[in-house]
Structure 1
Amino acid sequence: MSYNNNNVIQEPRPVVRKFLARPQHEGVGAIVRRSIGRFELKYFDPFLVLDEFSVSAPAGFPDHPHRGFETVTYMLQGAITHEDFEGHKGTIKEGDLQWMTAGRGIVHSEMPAAKGTQRGLQLWVNLSSKNKMVEPRYQEMMSKDIAEAAKDGVKVRVIAGEAMGIKSPVYTRTPTMFLDFSLKPGAHLQQPVPASWNAFVYTLEGEGIFCNSRSSPITAHNLLLLGSGDGLEVWNKSSKPLRFILVGGKPLGEPVVQFGPFVMNTQEEIDQTIEDYENCNNGFENAKHWRSESINGLNY
């Protein structure tokens, strides 16, 4: 995939569905705008959840488990501290990234690490049946280490995948692209996306015209599901900057059975996961006596 202003997109992907992500409560006192993983769109293969979260202490996401997928946390404002039952602890700040493979099992917490409001995006990426029980793994990148490029009023931060001739070092078990674009007023973008992948846009700031130059402008907090084609085309015809993410992934084409923070292929696997978690077995051994430091003293 490469960036080029000279007709790189032969068949722009159309917007086939649009959702405004409305605020809802999640975790303990946190507010999220959920666009994937809600009633109208429970799954967009291979993506399980997309949340734009907003949280202020003492609210947050205290100790909770995962199995069978990856969580991608990308900070837009403030800072979040992550701890897990393996002893891993770290804080990600504005512009930083954590790509966590939960695999066979993680219990962790995600809590505010700064005053005021912490904002960010969290994406859940499903894992194929052959990868669901891999060992947990982390890839964390500070903002200064995320690859960036700019040309003709378009700036991109390459969280995963490739754009404008630069690549991210992040390894994705499920082939995925995650691009953070900013367009100055008057800018125009063409970004290739593999034709066989599913792809979507989530708007963060400003307003943009997507896929068809005669379309109505789309404002912040909207999810745009893209149809078939070989890429995305965007115009910023407004007087303010436009910011959005473009995310694409190779569909797994496998059954999905979800029970809260557990995502497997069959109900039997979900039942086994619940049993493993309750009995602290098969990847959840350390859950028996662990409690995160960040919530000690808080009444959760």
Structure 2
Amino acid sequence: MKKRKVTRIVRGRKTVDGAGVHLRRILGEQTVVDFDPFLMLDGFDSTNPQDYIKGFPWHPHRGIETITYLVSGTMEHEDSLGNKGVIQSMGCQWMTAGSGILHKEMPQPSERMLGCQLWVNLPAAKKMVPPAYRDIAPDDIPVVMSDKATVRILSGSHRGIRGTLDNSYVQITYLDVTLPADASWKYNEARDDENLFLYLLEGSLFPEVRQQSAESKGCAILYSVPVPGEDTDEPVEVKAGPEGARFLLLSAPPLKEPIVWGGPIVMNSREELEEAFRELRNGTFIK
């Protein structure tokens, strides 16, 4: 194992998407090379329902997976396969768009809406797999106490405990980690060929315990493996600030494939993208 170093910190920007949802776009088209296979990450944190209740009406996706995780709040969702449901606080909805799906996501008024949506690229050979829709209930997510941390395992594994979902297309580790004030936490389970980053939901975090400056919520911290010759066994190590910290740890092997992005559709070539939009116009998008 090689020691990982912080090589990029992305703070994103405030924007409005859907029918008028105020959010912070952390990852997007400017970060796809460094964060491959993670395409987009939108974070939301509001106590004002007017920021989000207009939601995301019916819209298409192809070529990606979307993962919506709520720490706090409620979101109704429905898709063109006939699936519908409600994401509750501490729950997750994992959608494989594959060959094409239409869906809508409508946040409901809540005391606080806190969570994020992550887009993950699908490999070229799996772009047109049949769509799938999976809800992960809060009680289905394993919880592990680890070095003073509370770790919820949505996907992948931690300390020998498997997460709720084993994804067959991109092997993603998805952990929700909560640290008390001034606590440190170490992680050394990522393979050297994986891209790994932290997304800070709440509080503040020192990306390395020896680093003097703390990062505050709403940023993504990328850890990269150094060049050969600097190999060590030291893990990723972080320390919470005086108010504690809650963050997501995400890692997966990069696809290293061409990306052609057109709004909610991500393919490998311009021809594939144009075909997708032509099918949308012709009513043949859903397979």
Same fold by TM (over 0.5)? yes
Aligned to 1:128: 123
User: Which residue of 226, 233, 237 maps to 2:237?
Assistant: 233
CA contact (8 A) 2:184 2:209 kept: no
**Aligned with residue 254 of structure 2, among 241, 251, 266:** 251
- Indicate yes or no: 2:58 matched with 1:63: yes
1:194 aligned to 2:191?
Answer: yes
Equivalent residue in structure 2 for 1:204, among 192, 201, 206? 201
Q: Deviations over 1:254-291 (max 9, x none)?
A: 1111100111110000011111111121526xxxxxxx
Match of 2:23 in 1: 32
The AA in structure 1 aligned to 2:81 is: E
1:259 and 1:111 mapped to 2: Cα distance?
23
- The match for 1:175 is 171
Counterpart contact for 1:163–1:191, Cα < 8 Å: no
Alignment of structure 1 residues 33-182 onto 2, 5 Å: 33-38=24-29, 40-43=30-33, 44-54=35-45, 56=49, 58-172=53-167, 173-182=169-178
Identify the match of residue 185 of structure 1 among 181, 186, 195. 181
- Classify the secondary structure of the residue corresponding to 2:36: coil
Alignment of 1:3-18 (within 5 A): 11-18=2-9
CA distance in 1: counterparts of 2:144 and 2:85, whole angstroms: 27
How far residue 204 of structure 1 moved from its aligned partner, in angstroms, is 1.2
CA distance in 2, matches of 1:124, 1:275: 23
| Residues in 2 aligned to 1:165 and 1:186: alpha-carbon distance in whole angstroms | 26
1:260 aligned to 2:256?
Answer: no
Determine the structure 2 residue equivalent to 1:273.
Answer: 276
Q: Distance in 2 between matches of 1:21 and 1:48?
A: 13
8 Å CA contact retained: 1:80, 1:118: no
Partner of residue 5, structure 1? none
Once residues 87 and 73 of structure 1 are traced to their aligned partners in structure 2, the CA distance between those partners, rounded to angstroms, is 18
CA contact (8 A) 2:64 2:266 kept: yes
Per the TM alignment, residue 196 of structure 1 is displaced from its structure 2 partner at its CA by 0.3
Which of these residues, 212, 217, 221, is aligned with residue 220 of structure 1? 217
Are the equivalent residues in 2 in contact too, given 1:30–1:54 (CA < 8 A)? Answer: no
**Tell me, what secondary structure is at the counterpart of 2:60?**
strand
Greater strand share, structure number = 2
Q: Number of paired residues?
A: 273
Q: Distance in 2 between matches of 1:239 and 1:186?
A: 5
More divergent stretch after superposition (47-56 vs 254-263): 47-56
Superposition TM-score, scaled by structure 1 size: 0.85
4+ residue runs of structure 1 moved beyond 4 angstroms?
none
- The one of 22, 32, 40 equivalent to 2:13 is 22
Unaligned residue ranges in structure 1 (runs of 5+): 1-9, 285-300
Distance 1:225 1:168 in 2: 22
Q: Secondary structure at the match of 2:124?
A: coil
- Label 1:53 to 1:186 Cα distance change in 2 as closer, same or farther (>3 A): closer
Q: Deviations over 1:26-54 (max 9, x none)?
A: 1111011111105x424521011011035
1:221 maps to a residue whose letter is G
Q: Distance in 1 between matches of 2:124 and 2:285?
A: 17
SS in structure 2 opposite 1:277?
helix
Structure 2 unaligned blocks of 5 or more: 227-232
Q: How far 1:165 moved relative to its partner?
A: 2.8
Residue identity in the other structure for 2:102: V
TM-score by length of 2: 0.89
Measured in 1, the distance between the counterparts of 2:22 and 2:45 equals 5
- For the aligned residue pairs, the C-alpha RMSD in angstroms reads 1.8
> Residue 75 of structure 2 aligns to which amino acid in structure 1?
I
Distance, in Å, in 2 between the alignment partners of 1:155 and 1:212 is 19
